[in-house]
Amino acid sequence: MVVQPSLSEGFLFTVIEAMSCSKPVIAINVRGVKEAIGDTGLVVPPRSPRDLADAILKLHLDEGLRKRMGDKARENLKAI
């Protein structure tokens, strides 16, 4: 999993690189992130450390979910 806690994103390079490596992304809901990640990761509200921690724990504890999201992320990038 890759965690992108940035409050501002330009071109989403980190998100795209993570997805290309079959990694689910946990990111802050800033411009374009939610649309890029879709159902291949988790998006949390800005300035919400509790939600970010909960998302990290959720993926850390669920290996199957991590794998499914990561595989889907790579598939989605191939389709573009």
Cα–Cα distance for residue pair 35/42, rounded to 1 Å: 11
Write the single-letter amino acid at 11: F
Domains in the chain (CATH in brackets) are 2-79 (3.40.50.2000)
Does residue 79 carry a pLDDT above 90?
A: no
> Do 73 and 80 meet the contact criterion of CB atoms below 8 Å apart?
no
Measure the CA–CA gap between 79 and 64, rounded to whole angstroms.
Answer: 23
Give per-residue pLDDT as tens, 5-54. Answer: 999 877 889 999 999 999 999 999 998 999 999 999 999 999 999 999 99
Question: Which pTM was predicted?
Answer: 0.91
Please give the structure tokens belonging to residue 47. Answer: 């300035």
Return the pLDDT at 13: 92
